[in-house]
A and B are shown apart, each in its own frame.
Chain A
Amino acid sequence: MTTAPAIELRGISKAFGPVQANKDISILVERGTIHGIIGENGAGKSTLMSILYGFYKADAGEIFIGGQKTEIPDSQAAIAAGIGMVFQHFKLVENFTVLENVVLGAEDGRLLRPSLATARAELKALASDYGLNVDPDAVIADIGVGQQQRVEILKALYRQADILILDEPTGVLTPAEADQLFRILGRLKAEGKTIVLITHKLREIMEITDTVSVMRRGEMTATVRTAETSPTELAELMVGRKVLLRVDKTPAQPGAPILEIENLSVTDSAGVQRLRGVSLNVRAGEILGLAGVAGNGQSELLEVLGGMRTATGRITMNGQPIDLGGRHSDGQSRRARGIGHVPEDRQREGLIMPYSAWENSVFGYHHDPRWQNGPLMDNAGIEAAAQDQMDRFDVRPPNPRLAARNFSGGNQQKIVVAREIDRNPDLLLIGQPTRGVDIGAIEFIHKQIIALRDQGKAILLVSVELDEILSLADRVAVMFDGQIMGEGPAGSATQVGLGCLMAGLGGDDTRDMSGWTISDAAIIEEGTPDVSRIEAQLAEKHADASKEV
């Protein structure tokens, strides 16, 4: 056994046009350790890993794998060098089985059958070695996200990877699934594998890594032993200044209900029921946080409220019913009723990326007669208003003529938030307000949301970041499989309890949360919930749903 480090990068630089994504980066990853790489979005983490995996070619620098200088021109070379990558967005063929996915691209010989047979044996061995249990004959589309991720890991191991790179692996997982993943990673480490974990979540870094490297603006700012650092120190290293990880706010002064949702149901075009009888209300002067793992109906709820999707049920706004399927069920009508909407995906929904900031500053409000000058749009007036807005909301650079795509993620989000908050809505829908947003901008956006609440407006916050929900919301509701699992004050909510509800479980952990009402739909399970059983149930449900189509 050599003592050479598993990975050593020396002086890696990479530029995309005028943007220097990686600047002279050197890093050393010891064999048999879990090495975290942390940094804000756009800090260059993914670029660095893409260079290591052969997706990009570095402009300068050297790569050493196991002490050997290695050229990695493409991903085949990376695999040959023993590097496996688990992407944030899985690269799986949905209608193939687990086994077929594992073999895909690594078949030997012309015939599929023998390689499938060897793969089956291999998979069994891997499963028992590392606790990676997946049914090899299950179809990908039928299994849960956690299991899909395991398939990705198995794919890498099947290709004899010694080094495993995981890019934001917990983004799509429930806390319980994340714990399971961490247990698997621990086993892998014990077996001598080297793991590189890319994340922006400080908690994960602290929990599982041995060493952590911090990146900021394309540079490696520090590499420290995890045991010798603290979340605050890491946050400072990431941002380059002191940051408040906690949100300052006074207790809510909730007033009358602004938004009332009764028995709302949505069936999508594939015939799958996405919302199943959701009832909720949001009062003036409070932030209702809607927690849940991505894909459990939160997006659909936001879309219905924002007028992007039709539904059945009843919604009232300030006591007046809202049209859910007729002529007035579009975004324009919703805005006219005082509903502002910061959508979950700013790049696909909230902004027109090639449009300039000023054009985007009226997007959705462009029917406002204020912006009309005879038959034409008052472009100059809009631009002036946009300039003012950008100054007030600290959008950088404050240039209204710049196209939206040229702003950073955080500033793009500020453009959207500014537009929606500036109309002074009675109700603000806000989805994933800080996804892909740097810590500095997160602080600012959170402050804006709280300021709006303090003006007595109602806010519905949807986020997959539990930390964000807990620090921002006054009241929390948890969604699972299109239903509300439980609802109660944020003050008495616990990470564990919410985690259970997010997996559709109501047990002791949830009963400990005072003031919470737990839905009958939540499965009562004593002791530690068995996640794999729930996953199996979900898969069954999913299969039923597809049969109905």
Chain B
Amino acid sequence: MDRMPPWADALLVPLISLVLAAILSALVIIGIGEDPVAAVTLMVKGALGSTYGWGYTLYYATNFIFTGLAVAVAFHARMFNIGGEGQAMLGGLGVALVCLYLPLPHWTLALVAATLGAAIFGAAWACVPAVLQARRGSHIVITTIMFNFIAAALLNYMLVNLLRPKGAMDPATAKFPAATNLPTLHDMLTPIGLNFSKAAPANVTLVIALLACLAVWLLIWRTRLGYEIRAFGHSETAARYAGISPTRITVVAMLISGGLAGLMALNTTMGEAERLVLNSVEGAGFIGIAVALMGRSHPLGVLMAAVLFGFLYQGGAELALWTNIPRELIVVIQALVILFTGALDNMVRMPLERLFLSRRRKEG
């Protein structure tokens, strides 16, 4: 059986899914008596109409790039890492410990150290489910999702009992020292004469995210490890034939996946909040699954899908702020997009594939 052309696979399918999700969302908006056209206009304006909007869109997108890449790397080894949420929480702990307890003179050094801290903590959190999967066959979907709860409880305990400054009422760490504060896009773009919004939280972590995209692409398609990860993902028996250790690949792929999820904390914890708060991940770990599915586990696809979801997040927030469309409905719209681009992917793909094949047959 032949396939449809790659461009249709990579672009047309998600685009049609997106349109379907948009139509359904419009119907829902009409259903509650609001104007869908006005809503879309507001979303676009709010998310992309100003550097402030862009600043938020890109801030969210940065989160989703990390978690999307995390899920994508695991996908290549045919593993479903649902634990991005917990791994990102632990990443936040790593960042907080580095920023609070290492005397770092400059943000560049702090960024390097925090990157290591976030990756190591995230990877460590993914390591236990990975080893359980590789050695004991405990299904990674179950264990990673359970580890999300453990992570939340652990973080809660750490913040309430150990890291909370004396006298503070909320479960959060103290402010990180000023030397560790990362430059925002405003700080970075002003020297080259661009006037970017000062209030928007997008920061230098975005650059790290883009580098991570490049690194994952190199890893998966240009290195021996990536070759082995993909081979293992396609066929475990073939991997064993070639002398690729299933245990090793399972653990290594999950370590990389967890590390990437952990890096997300750089953006939220170090870049934006400048302290560790209890719920800093806010579901980005789960959005990563949709982003990886929509991006077909390719870093470029993940990047584009992450920006789209960033747009939905920021646009949705604007919508809730300026219209009578309730916050819950925004979640419905986001859920529809996830449903159509992720879970119902084959619903669009199969008829489209048939269409392409019948067209090709006519030509031939």
Q: Which residues of A contact B243 (CB under 8 A)?
A: 307, 330-335, 364
Write the nearest CB–CB distance from B243 to chain A, whole angstroms.
3
Q: For residue B227, which residue of chain A has the nearest CB?
A: A366
Q: Is B357 an interface residue (CB 8 A)?
A: yes
Write the nearest CB–CB distance from B221 to chain A, whole angstroms.
8
Question: By the criterion CB–CB under 8 Å, are A17 and B224 in contact?
Answer: no
Question: By the criterion CB–CB under 8 Å, are B234 and A355 in contact?
Answer: yes
Question: By the criterion CB–CB under 8 Å, are A364 and B224 in contact?
Answer: no
Contact with B along A352-396 (1 / 0, CB 8 A): 111100010001101100001001110100000000000000000
Q: Which residues of A contact B2 (CB under 8 A)?
A: 17-19, 406
Q: Is A80 an interface residue (CB 8 A)?
A: no
Complex: how many Å from CA A375 to CA B225?
Answer: 10
Within 8 A of B (CB), among A297-334: 306-308, 330-334
Question: By the criterion CB–CB under 8 Å, are A17 and B360 in contact?
Answer: yes
Complex: how many Å from CA A375 to CA B215?
Answer: 12
Q: Contacts A17-B2, A355-B231 given; indicate if A343 touches B241 (C-beta within 8 A).
A: yes
Q: Which residues of B contact A406 (CB under 8 A)?
A: 2
Q: Which residues of A contact B245 (CB under 8 A)?
A: 330
Question: By the criterion CB–CB under 8 Å, are B222 and A364 in contact?
Answer: no
Q: Is B112 an interface residue (CB 8 A)?
A: no
Q: Which residues of A contact B364 (CB under 8 A)?
A: 18
Write the nearest CB–CB distance from A323 to chain B, whole angstroms.
12
Question: By the criterion CB–CB under 8 Å, are B228 and A350 in contact?
Answer: no
Q: Which of B227, B234, B357, B361 contacts A377 (CB 8 A)?
A: B227
Complex: how many Å from CA A334 to CA B243?
Answer: 9
Q: Is B24 an interface residue (CB 8 A)?
A: no
Question: By the criterion CB–CB under 8 Å, are B237 and A18 in contact?
Answer: no
Write the nearest CB–CB distance from A417 to chain B, whole angstroms.
15
Complex: how many Å from CA A8 to CA B230?
Answer: 48
Question: By the criterion CB–CB under 8 Å, are B1 and A353 in contact?
Answer: no
Q: Which residues of B contact A375 (CB under 8 A)?
A: 223
Q: Which of A17, A307, A349, A363 has the most CB of B within 10 A?
A: A17
Contact with A along B299-323 (1 / 0, CB 8 A): 0000000000000000000000000
Question: By the criterion CB–CB under 8 Å, are B237 and A349 in contact?
Answer: yes
Write the nearest CB–CB distance from A89 to chain B, whole angstroms.
18
Q: Which residues of B contact A372 (CB under 8 A)?
A: 224
Question: By the criterion CB–CB under 8 Å, are A17 and B238 in contact?
Answer: no
Question: By the criterion CB–CB under 8 Å, are B223 and A377 in contact?
Answer: yes
Q: Which residues of B contact A306 (CB under 8 A)?
A: 241
Q: Is B235 an interface residue (CB 8 A)?
A: yes
Q: Which residues of B contact A349 (CB under 8 A)?
A: 235, 237-238, 240-241
Write the nearest CB–CB distance from B256 to chain A, whole angstroms.
15
Complex: how many Å from CA A331 to CA B228?
Answer: 13
Q: For residue B354, which residue of chain A has the nearest CB?
A: A17
Write the nearest CB–CB distance from A428 to chain B, whole angstroms.
15
Write the nearest CB–CB distance from A62 to chain B, whole angstroms.
22
Question: By the criterion CB–CB under 8 Å, are B361 and A350 in contact?
Answer: no
Q: Is B27 an interface residue (CB 8 A)?
A: no
Q: Which residues of A contact B238 (CB under 8 A)?
A: 348-352, 363
Q: Is B218 an interface residue (CB 8 A)?
A: yes
Write the nearest CB–CB distance from A223 to chain B, whole angstroms.
29
Q: Which residues of A contact B244 (CB under 8 A)?
A: 331
Question: By the criterion CB–CB under 8 Å, are A16 and B1 in contact?
Answer: yes
Question: By the criterion CB–CB under 8 Å, are B361 and A354 in contact?
Answer: no
Q: Which of A18, A353, A376 contacts B223 (CB 8 A)?
A: A376
Contact with A along B241-280 (1 / 0, CB 8 A): 1111100000000000000000000000000000000000
Q: Contacts A15-B361, A18-B361, A376-B218 given; indicate if A308 touches B224 (C-beta within 8 A).
A: no
Q: Is A217 an interface residue (CB 8 A)?
A: no
Write the nearest CB–CB distance from B356 to chain A, whole angstroms.
9
Question: By the criterion CB–CB under 8 Å, are B357 and A331 in contact?
Answer: no
Complex: how many Å from CA A364 to CA B357?
Answer: 35
Q: Contacts A363-B231, A376-B222, A377-B227 given; indicate if A331 touches B237 (C-beta within 8 A).
A: no
Q: Which of B218, B227, B238, B360 has the most CB of A within 10 A?
A: B238
Question: By the criterion CB–CB under 8 Å, are A366 and B361 in contact?
Answer: no
Q: Which residues of A contact B360 (CB under 8 A)?
A: 17-18
Q: Is A200 an interface residue (CB 8 A)?
A: no
Q: Is A457 an interface residue (CB 8 A)?
A: no
Question: By the criterion CB–CB under 8 Å, are A348 and B237 in contact?
Answer: yes
Complex: how many Å from CA A33 to CA B121?
Answer: 73
Complex: how many Å from CA A406 to CA B3?
Answer: 10
Complex: how many Å from CA A354 to CA B2?
Answer: 12
Write the nearest CB–CB distance from B241 to chain A, whole angstroms.
4
Contact with A along B1-22 (1 / 0, CB 8 A): 1100000000000000000000
Question: By the criterion CB–CB under 8 Å, are B235 and A353 in contact?
Answer: yes
Write the nearest CB–CB distance from B315 to chain A, whole angstroms.
37
Question: By the criterion CB–CB under 8 Å, are B223 and A364 in contact?
Answer: no
Q: Is A414 an interface residue (CB 8 A)?
A: no
Write the nearest CB–CB distance from B247 to chain A, whole angstroms.
11
Question: By the criterion CB–CB under 8 Å, are B222 and A363 in contact?
Answer: no
Q: Which residues of A contact B231 (CB under 8 A)?
A: 352, 355, 363
Q: Which residues of B contact A17 (CB under 8 A)?
A: 1-2, 357, 360-361
Q: For residue A406, which residue of chain B has the nearest CB?
A: B2
Q: For residue A330, which residue of chain B has the nearest CB?
A: B243
- Can you list 22 pairs linking A and B with CB atoms under 8 Å apart? A15-B361, A16-B1, A18-B361, A19-B2, A306-B241, A331-B242, A333-B243, A341-B241, A345-B237, A348-B238, A349-B235, A350-B238, A353-B235, A354-B234, A355-B231, A363-B238, A364-B242, A366-B228, A376-B223, A377-B222, A377-B223, A377-B224
Known: A331-B240, A345-B237, A363-B242. 4 other contacts (CB 8 A): A17-B2, A18-B364, A352-B235, A377-B224
A-B pairs with lowest CB-CB distance, top 10: A331-B243, A332-B243, A364-B242, A349-B241, A330-B243, A17-B2, A376-B222, A17-B357, A352-B234, A348-B237
